[in-house]
Amino acid sequence: MLEMTRRALLATPVVLAAGAALGQTPKTLTIGVVSDPVTLDPAFSASFFENAVFYCLHETLLVAAPDGSISPGLATHSNPEPMRHVLTLRPGLTYHDGTPVDAASVKANLDRYLDPATASIRKADFGPLADVVVTGPLVVELRMSAPYAPLPLVLTNRAGMVVSMAAVKRLGADFATQAVGCGPYKLRSWTKNSELVLERFDGYWRGPNHGFDRLAFRPIPDETVRLANLRSGTLQLIDALPPQSVAGLAQDRSVRVSQMPSLGFNAWSFNVTRKPFDDPRVRRAFAAAVDPSVIQRVVYFGTGEVAHGPLSPAVGWAFDKAYAPPGFDPARAKALLAEAGITAPLPVSITVTNSPQMVRIAQVAQAQANQAGFKVEVKQIDPTSLITVLRQRDFDICMSPWSGRYDPDGNTYFWFTKDGPNNFAGYDNPQVTTWLQQARTEADQAKRVDLYHKVQDQLAQDAPVLFLHFDAIIQASSAKLSWTQYPDAVWRLYDAKLV
C-alpha cells in the first residue's frame, strides 16, 4: 500500500509535466542539489556544486562525452602544430542576450580568464597559453609557449565556457547573479537558497529540442531530506545520494539510482613540512595502518573503489587496474615507526569537515591507526574553513578530496608539483615535478601513461597523500526520467526527458 502511494505521488509531477506539453504550463524538471551556487560566472566558480547549474546555463567550446572522448561543441578543434590550437566556431550562434558567439567574443572571454587583473581561477587551467589570436570572423588560434596536451579537455571544462561580454560589461559585479551564457537554458530567476530557475534557450547550437521548458534547482543540503523529496515526488532528480541508501532503493521501482566511477579521489594530505609527517617513514607507517577496503565497506557501503593512487578508473586509458602498492599492514606500520625512532603512541590529528561521511572515515582510520602505534585525535571543522586550513597547512593530516578532471594532468600536476595550487601537503620531489611537466607537454598518449605510472609509483614511496577511495557518482531520479550521467557528477540536462 505504501509502495503504491509512493509511486502514485512520484507519478504526479510526471502527469503534470505531460499535461504541460499540451501548452498548459511549462514542463519543469525539479532538481535537488547539495548547495546553492555562489556565482554564475565561470571565471570565478570555485565550488564543485556550482557545476550542477553551470553546464545547463553555459556551453563549452568543446564537449566531453561520459567516456572522456572529445567532440565539437561551440567550435571544432584542430592542432596543426604542437604549439597551435585552432578553434573554428559554428556560424550563426548567439548568446542568450542575442549578441553573436564569434571569434572576437571568444578571444575576449579567454583574455578575460588570462588577465591577471581579472584574478580568475581559470587562468591556471590554460597552462602555457601565451596568446589568443583572431584569424577569421569565426576562427581563433590559441598559441602556446610550450606543448600542452590537456588543452582540448580543459576546453570541455569551465575554462571552455564563454559568456556574453556585452553582459559582463553592462552588469559588472551583478554578472555573478545574472550571468548570460549560450548554454541550452538561460537564467529566468534566482531566489538565493530557495530556487534557481532556468528556461529553455531556443538559439542553442543543438537546436530547440529540449526535454523540458524549465529546470528548477533547489538547494537541499541534507541528504536525507533530498531523498525524501525525491520519494515523495517533489523532486525528480537529486545529486549526491548517500551510499547507505543505494541498497534499500533497489526495491523501490519508482526511483532509479545511477552510479559510475568519478574522475576524482578522496584522499588525505599529510603535512610534510612539519613533524611528525616530515619523515616519509612516519607517513608510510600511517598509510600502512589504515585499511581503505574497510572504509569502502563500512562508510561507502561497497560503492566506488579503493584508491591506490591519483589516477581514476573513470579515465580508462591512464588507469592501471593491476596497480597495487604495499597496502594495509599494521606490523609494517609498527616497524616503520620503530625505524623512525618512535616508541610511544604518536599523537597526530586528522582534520575533517563535520560532514557525517568524513567524520565516519576519520573514525575508522582513528581506530585502525591507534592499533598500530598512533594516538589519533579527530578535529572537525566547518566546510568553509577547509580551504583555509589546507592553504595555511594548519594540520597534521587533512581531508583533501578532489572532484577530478578528464585528463590525468588535472589529478596530478596541481597536486604533486612544488608550486601546484593543490599541493596542500607541501610535497617537493623535483623528479616528480619533471615527470609531470613532461607528461603535459608529451603528445604521445602511451608515453604520457608511462610517465603518470612512474609518478604513481613514486607517490607510493613518498606518501605525501594517503589515497583512500574513488567515490562513485551516485545520483537518483524518478524512474520515468531519462538522462545521462557523467563521471564529473555534472548534469547536462538538454537531453533529459520523460519516458
Partner 1 sequence: MLRRLLIAPRSALGVLLVTITLFAGAFGPALSPYGPNEPDFAATLSPPSATHWLGTDDLGRDTLSRILSGARVSLLVGVVSVAAGLLLGGPIGLVAGYAGGWTDSVLMRCMDVLLAFPGLLLALGITAVLGASLVNTVIAIAAVNLPVLARVARGQAMSVRSREYITAERALGFGSATILWRCVLPNTASPILVQASLLLASSIITEAYLSFLGLGVQPPTPSWGNMLHDAIGFLDQAVWLAWFPGIAIFITVLGFNLLGDALRDQLDPHD
Binding site for partner 1 (CB under 8 A): 223-224, 242, 244-245, 248, 294, 297-299, 354, 356-357, 359-360, 363-364, 366-367, 378, 380
Q: Is the C-alpha dihedral spanning 268, 48, 427, 443 positive or negative?
A: positive
Q: Which is nearer to partner 1, 198 or 299 (CB)?
A: 299
Burial (0-12, 13-18, 19+ Cβ within 10 Å), 328: middle
Kindly state the smallest distance separating residue 475's Cβ from partner 1, in Å: 17
Kindly state the smallest distance separating residue 294's Cβ from partner 1, in Å: 5
Query: Under a CB-based contact definition with an 8 Å cutoff, are residues 122 and 44 in contact?
Result: no
Q: Which is nearer to partner 1, 26 or 242 (CB)?
A: 242
Q: Which is nearer to partner 1, 48 or 301 (CB)?
A: 301
Q: Which is nearer to partner 1, 193 or 354 (CB)?
A: 354
Report how far apart, in Å, the C-alpha atoms of 255 and of each of 6, 19, 81, 136, 481 are. Answer: 10, 21, 49, 50, 9
Of residues 106, 119, 210, the one with CA closest to residue 160: 106
Residue with cell 514542463: 27
Q: Which is nearer to partner 1, 315 or 472 (CB)?
A: 472
Kindly state the smallest distance separating residue 261's Cβ from partner 1, in Å: 23
Kindly state the smallest distance separating residue 5's Cβ from partner 1, in Å: 17
Kindly state the smallest distance separating residue 42's Cβ from partner 1, in Å: 33
Q: Is the C-alpha dihedral spanning 50, 53, 55, 58 positive or negative?
A: negative
Report how far apart, in Å, the C-alpha atoms of 262 and of each of 19, 94, 304, 331, 481 are. Answer: 36, 33, 8, 33, 22
Q: Which is nearer to partner 1, 163 or 306 (CB)?
A: 306
Cα separation of 102 and 107, whole Å?
9
Kindly state the smallest distance separating residue 94's Cβ from partner 1, in Å: 46
Name the strand (E) or helix (H) holding 259.
strand 255-261
Strand 374-381 with 346-353, pairing: parallel
Q: Which is nearer to partner 1, 329 or 450 (CB)?
A: 329
Kindly state the smallest distance separating residue 193's Cβ from partner 1, in Å: 19
Query: Under a CB-based contact definition with an 8 Å cutoff, are residues 62 and 71 in contact?
Result: yes
Q: Which is nearer to partner 1, 50 or 252 (CB)?
A: 252
Contacts of 179 (CB under 8 A, 6+ apart): 40, 41, 57, 58, 163, 167, 187
Contacts of 160 (CB under 8 A, 6+ apart): 60, 61, 62, 73, 154
Kindly state the smallest distance separating residue 330's Cβ from partner 1, in Å: 14
